[in-house]
A and B are shown apart, each in its own frame.
Chain A
């Protein structure tokens, strides 16, 4: 008997895919590339704290070189985001460049540049997926976190895509306390535009850390979400996508379809606008920085030789979760969610559905300071209202629920 269990470092032959993925892949499956930190919006929960362009942003030529390398590595597609990627003047060029180099593109946008003309161009292009971000099925709920006007912008973009004959756009929703009750409405909206609904998890990353306490779904809402996802798991082609982001819900019982594993540094990573490579899109912090593709010999070099990634690819121990009978289902949940709420990485997820997260959150913890921030220094015209609200001390109703008194259609009624 040994006191310390030795962590195996040899990849097993055969075994499940999850076991194989734990040891990492020669190239990522799911690579997110934030092209710019510049953004026309100032969403309250922005995972990359975007707003201002970083002057060190990769040039067009540098971006092309990244695409060339992704083609060599057979990274079949990239998820392009930001910031708002379409406000880069060379965005459309880079999109075509990637597609012409066997790198399919799925890009996330708030829709600001999806004009009828661009929509027609997109409809004529193969291997391009468009994801329109929408965090409320109604303007009131969406604009509360994404800012005034952002709902209309998104719906106009969806309409333009549909009118141009672009098939199967994605509506990408971050699930929050305010919109969990709108899941059926989101689905109806997607059906209306011939789009597919994509639901993802709110992480306390970037500015999300500032509003997570207020926005993250309540325990009973997690159950609602889980049941809804299970009911729509087998909808086939018109089903609901999740980016495999809800694996912490697997501890309710049955695993959701997809990869029930933290893929950070194993099958997933992020390239940021200045070429920094992070373990996952939700982990933009020095602790998860694997290297820089300009300074460290290219993306492949970083992916294959970074010490951080090697560490993430050695099987993780369950820590405090090892004794939980659901550990094999959720595998401890989301690394980024734990880190940015100040919880130990080998303990429960803050939203652990078995309730261990609440206990952990109630204990001693220090929320880590952000290691970078590209938020605007002065408030934007279309900044979400909730940020202004938060600058005032809470009063009676709001002391219990930050959203008490919040009525869709009457922004600003809370605490006023």
Chain B
């Protein structure tokens, strides 16, 4: 069964800044001071694209991630969500 996360609308947390690096990017959360490394440029593209996509699936597609890897990316995004690097787009959830 596909991860239900794929259907949800997510975005970068407002307190998080992304810094491009040769291997991908650093994500820093000014609130909880957590530093996270996005080790693949593709993951960086997905994370950056979340806010512009209606759902995670759309962001994965836009970043050109092959469908067989979506489950792995969904798991990676859940990891980022655990430290509030990304969060559900609350406004749309409430709407």
A residues bordering B, Cβ < 8 Å?
11, 13-14, 17, 20, 23, 25-27, 29, 74, 76-77, 102, 104, 126-127, 129
Contact = CB atoms under 8 A, between A and B. Distances in A.
Contacts of A129: 33
Contacts of B22: 11, 20, 23, 25-26
11 contacts: A14-B40, A20-B23, A25-B22, A27-B19, A29-B26, A29-B35, A74-B19, A76-B26, A76-B28, A102-B17, A126-B30
Nearest to A99: B30
Main secondary structure of the interface of A (DSSP, over half): loop
A17 B19 contact: no
B21 interface: yes
B94 to A, nearest CB: 26
Nearest to A23: B22
Given A29-B26, A104-B33, A129-B33, A76 B39 contact: no
Interface string B60-78: 0000000000000000000
B12 to A, nearest CB: 14
A17 B33 CA distance: 19
Nearest to A168: B33
Contacts of B33: 77, 104, 129
Instruction: Choose among B17, B20, B33 the residue with the greatest number of A CB atoms under 10 Å from its CB.
Output: B33
B39 A127 contact: no
A17 B37 contact: yes
Given A29-B35, A76-B35, A127 B30 contact: yes
B39 A14 contact: yes
The 3 closest A-B pairs by CB, nearest first: A76-B28, A74-B19, A20-B23
Nearest to A11: B22
Contacts of B31: 126
A72 B57 CA distance: 33
B23 A11 contact: yes
Nearest to B20: A26
B17 A25 contact: no
A24 to B, nearest CB: 9
Contacts of A23: 22
A104 B23 CA distance: 24
B14 to A, nearest CB: 13
A17 B23 CA distance: 9
B30 A76 contact: yes
Contacts of A29: 26, 35
Given A74-B17, A126-B30, 19 more contacts: A13-B23, A14-B23, A14-B39, A17-B39, A20-B21, A20-B37, A26-B20, A29-B35, A74-B19, A76-B19, A76-B26, A76-B28, A77-B33, A102-B17, A104-B30, A104-B33, A126-B31, A127-B30, A129-B33
A26 B26 CA distance: 11
B15 to A, nearest CB: 9
Interface string B23-46: 100101011010101011000000
Contacts of A104: 30, 33
Contacts of A13: 23
A104 B39 CA distance: 24
B77 to A, nearest CB: 19
A25 B21 contact: yes
A25 B40 CA distance: 15
A367 B23 CA distance: 39
A74 B19 CA distance: 6
